[in-house]
Each structure stands twice: as structure tokens, then as C-alpha cells.
A and B are shown apart, each in its own frame.
Chain A
Amino acid sequence: MIAFYEITLGKMGGHMFMAGLVGRISLILVSILLVVFGAFLVEYYLTTNSDRPFGHTQGAHYVGWLGLGVIALTFVYPFKRWRHPNQVWPKRWFQVHMVCGLVGPAVIFVHAGLHFHAMVPILALIVMVLVVLSGIIGQAVHYRLFRSLYHQRHDLAYQGMPEEMIESYLHDLVLQEEVFRWWKCLHGPFSVTFVVLVLLHIGGTMYFGGL
């Protein structure tokens, strides 16, 4: 009887977990599509109100720089982690990393619009999407692992450890998880590839378009 309950409840738990996961992934995918579609719509609106495509105007260049500036803020977190690996986890910068990692690319979609011609910006855009998607997956993995450590959280809180230190400790535990270490093989290298392609794109634009 107990076994029956365990199996049934286990199955139900699994189903609920899968349903929750599918629902959350669907919500994220729909949100991403809406943001991308909205950005393209803004670019289309700006193009129709100009005598030339928005991407060919000075305004589009400013939007590109703005997007780059926002994306540049995402690099503060990994830089701080790389520079001071033993310090307390900079949670605020992690939040900046996540928010700017979504807002910056959305701004870049306005800058790019639905125009695909030159190979270099197309590649930069593709890799940017890979970085964002891997970032979202990483955030989901981090969130789930972080939540799965609630026993440790309670124990540490019971021992009187400050909240900030607990989060930092748990974060370090998350980093040691196999799935997270797998994820690290993708997100970091993709980000560096993106930076290289962006630098090439900016260099090419300056070379042909002027400083």
C-alpha cells in the first residue's frame, strides 16, 4: 500500500513538475518572441517615419551604442567573479547581469531590425541569441539548483549565518553541480565569441561609415 502511494505520488509529482516546467518554458518562449516581435515592430515604425531605413540613420547607430552599453553592464558580474573569486557572491551584479542581458539584446533588435544582408552583423546577432538563450537556460538551472538546497539554507540560517553569506555559500555549491559546469562550457565561450563579432561589426562600420 505504501509502495502504491509512493509510486502514485511520485508519478503525480513528476507530472506536476513536468507541467510546471513546460508551462514556464512556454511562458519564457512566448515572452521572448513578443519582445523580439515588438522590437522589430518599433524598427518598422521608425523606418516608415523616415526617408530611409532606420538602420541607415544616425539614430539607429545611437540605438546600437545604447544596446552595447547595456550589454557591457552584463560583463561587470563575470569580471567581478573572475577578479575576486573568493569574495562574497555579488548578487546585485548578478541581477544586473540578468536584466541587462535581456534589455540590451532587445535594444539591439531595434537597432538591427528585420534586415539581413551583411554576414558579420548577422553572425553577431545569431551568437547574441545563443548567448541570451544559454543565459536563460543557465538562470533556470541556477534557480532550480538554488531552490533544491533549501535544507542547507535552513541549517545555515539555524546556525546563525547571515543571509548574504548563506546565498554566497549556496551559490558556490550550485557552481559545483555537474549540470551547471556543463552549462559553463557554453555560456562563457559564446559570450567571448559574441564580443569578438561585435568588435568586428563596430570596426567594419567605422571603417566603411566613418568615425
Chain B
Amino acid sequence: MGCLRTWVARLIWVLTALIIGMIFWGSFRYPEAMWAPGHLSRVHADATDCHGCHEPFRGVRSRKCLMCHTSHRFQAHADPATSRRHLQIIRQSESCLSCHTEHQGDRTRFTSLEPGNPHGELVFQMTGARDCLDCHRANSVKKTMTSALLNNPLVQYLQKEGLGPISPVILPNASHVISPPALRNDGD
């Protein structure tokens, strides 16, 4: 004995066909909404093509990362220790994914070595920084972020404004003061 009202079953089949059609259509129009397990981090927020990082049925390969994050860029933009560490990893053909991860949202850490952000995520919105390395020096031996500040235009600007340490407590109150210029122009 089968289904008593075949139109109910047919309706479900039609809905299923519509859903499948929507998925295929959405895969071309809105691939991230259809397939991505989370938003990209702020450093990759401008990426629009999944295939910029993913290879079909092979996943994310380090060679895809190196198309943008070249050894030349590491030498030119990263501090010497960080650059050395990454160049060594590139030479050894280690996977970038052993430390880095993605699709965890635009306000989360994207490196497994990063500590939690003690300032709160608002610091990125308020200062225009895209990651910790915009202001802080990394300790590539201990593989941690340090409180030591870089001497770059963003840090200089924040210090010039007299804000002192950026903390989640004072930052919202200082929002009217901070109007950072577009300081970051490298893509590392």
C-alpha cells in the first residue's frame, strides 16, 4: 500500500527539484552563501572567486596561497624573523593550512598561533587595522604575538592622537577621535 495522496508526494518532489535548481543557480551567483562554511577573514575579504584559493577536488593548496603571498612579498613587507620563518616553510613545501585557517568569520583569528585579541574586535573597526601584525611585532621563535609595537604610520598615528593602549574600555569612548587614514597598502 502506497501513498494515499500522491499529490503530496509530487509536491515534495517539485519542491526538491526547485531547491536543487536554486542550489545550482546560487552556486554561480552566490557561491559563498551556498557552500562556504563561514565568512572569510578580514585579510581575504576582497576575495570573490572560490577558485582563487580552492582547486576542484584538491582543496586549498599552498601553491595557490603562494600566487599572492610570494616569497618576494614576505621579504619586502614582513619583519625579518617572520619573513625567514615563512620562506623556510615555503622551501620545505609545508602546508600553509597547518598554521592558517579560513572561513571563520571576518572578526576571528586566522592563524592558529595567534593568541586571543585582548583589545576586543572593535579595535580593527576603529583603527582600520586588518590584523595584529599591523601594529604588533610577532615573536617567530616562540610563535606568538608580542606587545611590542611596530614603527609604522598606523601606530604613529594612534600614538600621535594620544590614545595610549587601545583597550575595549577606552576605545568606544575614543571613537570620535580616531579617523585613521588608509594606512595599510600592502597585502601580506
* Chain A contact residues, majority secondary structure: helix
Please list the residues of chain A having a beta carbon within 8 angstroms of any beta carbon in chain B: 51-53, 55-56, 115, 117-120, 123, 175-176, 178, 180-182, 184-186, 188-190, 192-193, 196-197, 200, 204, 206-211
Chain A residues with CB under 8 Å of B162's CB are none
Of A53, A184, A207, A208, which one neighbours B104 at CB under 8 angstroms?
A53
Known contacts A56-B103, A117-B38, A208-B54; A196 and B16 CB within 8 A of each other = yes
Within 8 A of A (CB), among B103-135: 103-104, 112
Whether A196 and B20, one on each chain, are in contact in the complex, defined by CB atoms closer than 8 angstroms, is yes
Known contacts A52-B104, A118-B35, A185-B5; A123 and B19 CB within 8 A of each other = yes
Count chain B residues whose beta carbon lies closer than 8 angstroms to a beta carbon of A.
Answer: 35
Known contacts A119-B26, A182-B4, A207-B57; A189 and B36 CB within 8 A of each other = no
Chain A residues with CB under 8 Å of B26's CB are 119
Given the complex of chains A and B, what is the CA–CA distance between A53 and B6 in angstroms? 43
Report the 10 A-B pairs with minimum CB-CB distance, sorted nearest first. Answer: A210-B59, A181-B4, A189-B12, A185-B8, A51-B112, A185-B3, A193-B16, A175-B1, A184-B3, A52-B101
Q: Nearest Cβ in chain A — how far from B63, in angstroms?
A: 13
Given the complex of chains A and B, what is the CA–CA distance between A176 and B101 in angstroms? 55
Q: Nearest Cβ in chain A — how far from B87, in angstroms?
A: 23
Given the complex of chains A and B, what is the CA–CA distance between A118 and B9 in angstroms? 27
The answer to whether the Cβ of B50 comes within 8 Å of any Cβ in the partner chain is yes
8 contacts between A and B (CB under 8 A): A51-B112, A55-B37, A119-B26, A185-B4, A185-B5, A185-B6, A185-B8, A207-B54
Q: What is the chain B residue whose CB lies nearest that of A205?
A: B35
Q: Nearest Cβ in chain A — how far from B45, in angstroms?
A: 15
Whether A117 and B3, one on each chain, are in contact in the complex, defined by CB atoms closer than 8 angstroms, is no
The answer to whether the Cβ of B58 comes within 8 Å of any Cβ in the partner chain is yes
Q: Mark B32-70, 1 if CB is under 8 A from A, else 0.
A: 011111110000000000100011111110000000000
Given the complex of chains A and B, what is the CA–CA distance between A199 and B56 in angstroms? 16
Known contacts A52-B112, A56-B103, A182-B4; A193 and B12 CB within 8 A of each other = yes
Chain B residues with CB under 8 Å of A207's CB are 54, 56-57
Chain B residues with CB under 8 Å of A190's CB are 12
Given the complex of chains A and B, what is the CA–CA distance between A189 and B26 in angstroms? 23
Known contacts A175-B1, A181-B2, A186-B8; A118 and B33 CB within 8 A of each other = yes
